[in-house]
Structure 1
Amino acid sequence: MTFSSTRPEDLFFDAARKGDVAYIKELIDAGTDVNIRDGRGFTPLILTTYEGHVEAAKLLIDSGADVNAQDFGGNSALMGVCFKGYAEVARLLLQHGASPDLQNGNGGTALMFATLFGRNELVKVMLENGADKTVQDARGLTALDLAHQQGNEEALKYLQASPH
């Protein structure tokens, strides 16, 4: 492949958003850093998981992508996945060492995102993978508080039953 005036990094971010496994592999093979960041701190893994691209995420992880990288707001790939509702991608990230208790700039965690946005399968997945339901955000709220505020009975059930 010959690169034109477009920087390889920009091509990498675009390929990650699209989940273009073949192109991602080509860019990695050409020496592009899998942990590069764009202007908002997004890595290719954060971008590809936010779009739900499982195979692209596997390739990036297998190529050394940091599963706990956080953007400039402190958000991780796992937080984005919990916001969007991609349980399969969340399991993949957790299997490869993603921390369910990382906190973003507002103190939010992946469990809080799942709870706040009604991603109840992900609430369960986070708790099964050791997420700490007692972590407080910048306002002093826990995932249980958020479930109460949202009237999310299913999440409340999972959170109240969890020993974590």
Structure 2
Amino acid sequence: MNPAKSPDLPQPPVIGKVSHHSIEMSWLNEENKSRTGPPEHWTHFSVEQMDPKTHTFSSIYIGYSTRHVVEGLKSSTHYSFRLMVTRPSGEFSFSPVVSVFTKREPFSGENLHQALNRENEQELTTVLQSRMVNVDVHDKMGFTPLMVAAQKGFTSLADILVKHGADINKRDSTGRNSLMQACYSGHLDMVKYLRKCGSTWQSRDTDGCSPLHWAVDGEHLPVITYMIQDGCEVDVMDKVSLWTPLMHVSAISGNAAVASVLLQAGADVNVRDKAGKTPLMVAVLNNHVKLVKLLLDSGADHHLKNKLETKRLFMFQNIINLLDKISMEDSD
């Protein structure tokens, strides 16, 4: 004989704690509070979940407990449940349906960086206002959101980050801060903004390189010009090789236009590094012909050519000819 359906409707499950992936439910058991006797004399319960497509129910819990936590759910999703109560007599009844939404999945550092890289101001603000994420959280490359904004030139997003407490002096694993990122990438508006926020030209990375070293390496004339006009020290040295920005140009890019700006600002054309080399010596060894000429025209000591004789086999002939020509002119 099939069990009979009871006319008495039980109360629906009471919704407890709801997260982005779980829902807690509880219900009363008025008939068997003490649960004396064998289990077959107890009322048992079944929590049923509705399929949103077919509107049919299936059991997700069967037992004697008055509490159940549904886990493994999707975030921000609507779920419906009912309680089936089966009494010792075999009679059963269903409660009214109760519906609930799971919460939105908590924001993470990944969400913050995604919003930043998409240049989405509204999304970035939403993540920050949730207060679930540290504004200075690093990405996989070790960059904070402000460093990324500085690197990409997202000044308006940088302003949002700073207003939510971003640390302008935070550094990556190499000691670079946001100002250095902006200088190297050539974003003048970002450089000006960070200066307004208190970033300083005196900051150094782990090798002792300054923002001007990074701007020179990036070969960005408008940024370099602004930095010098703003009082940046021209002959600042790193702490590894004692290279000034002018020495960086001689060793790396050979960019005569960048060197010219530095020289016009008073950079020492005959400064020596830790090994005793001058910008001219380094430019010669790196075959930067235009830069060699500029340095010589700017007062570089061309008699250093004699000190370079041991390096002669490593020089390119056009530079040797240039130095020889100058020496002959001096003789005349």
Q: What TM-score do you get using the length of structure 2 for normalisation? A: 0.44
Give 2:247's match in structure 1, choosing from 138, 145, 160: 145
Give 1:91's match in structure 2, choosing from 192, 200, 217: 192
How far the C-alpha of 1:99 sits from its partner, in A, is 1.6
How far the C-alpha of 1:38 sits from its partner, in A, is 3.0
Q: Distance in 1 between matches of 2:229 and 2:134?
A: 32
Give 2:175's match in structure 1, choosing from 69, 74, 86: 74
Could you tell me which residue of structure 2 aligns to residue 42 of structure 1? 143
Counterpart check, 1:61 vs 2:61: no
CA contact (8 A) 1:94 1:129 kept: no
Structure-to-structure mapping, 1:92-131, within 5 angstroms: 92-131=193-232
CA contact (8 A) 2:234 2:266 kept: no
Could you tell me which residue of structure 2 aligns to residue 3 of structure 1? 105
Larger % of strand: which?
A: 2
Amino acid paired to 1:146: H
Give CA-to-partner distance per residue, 1:37-60, whole Å, 9 cap, x none: 234431110011211111101111
Amino acid paired to 1:81: A
Larger % of helix: which?
A: 1
CA contact (8 A) 2:121 2:157 kept: yes
How far the C-alpha of 1:147 sits from its partner, in A, is 3.8
Give 2:126's match in structure 1, choosing from 26, 34, 37: 26
Give CA-to-partner distance per residue, 1:86-110, whole Å, 9 cap, x none: 1011100111011222111222211
How far the C-alpha of 1:35 sits from its partner, in A, is 1.7
Superposition RMSD in Å: 2.1
Counterpart check, 1:15 vs 2:111: no
Could you tell me which residue of structure 1 aligns to residue 261 of structure 2? 155
Consecutive aligned runs of 4 or more in structure 1 exceeding 6 Å deviation: none
Distance 1:158 1:78, change over 3 A: farther
* Bigger-Rg structure (1/2): 2
Higher relative contact order (CA 8 A, sep 6+): 1
Q: Paired residues, what number?
A: 159
Q: Distance in 2 between matches of 1:11 and 1:148?
A: 42
The 3-state SS of whatever aligns with 2:143 is: coil
CA contact (8 A) 1:52 1:86 kept: yes
CA contact (8 A) 2:234 2:262 kept: no
Decide which moves more: 152-161 or 40-49. 152-161
Q: What TM-score do you get using the length of structure 1 for normalisation? A: 0.85
Distance 1:139 1:108, change over 3 A: same
Give CA-to-partner distance per residue, 1:7-32, whole Å, 9 cap, x none: 61111122222322111100110002
The 3-state SS of whatever aligns with 1:125 is: helix
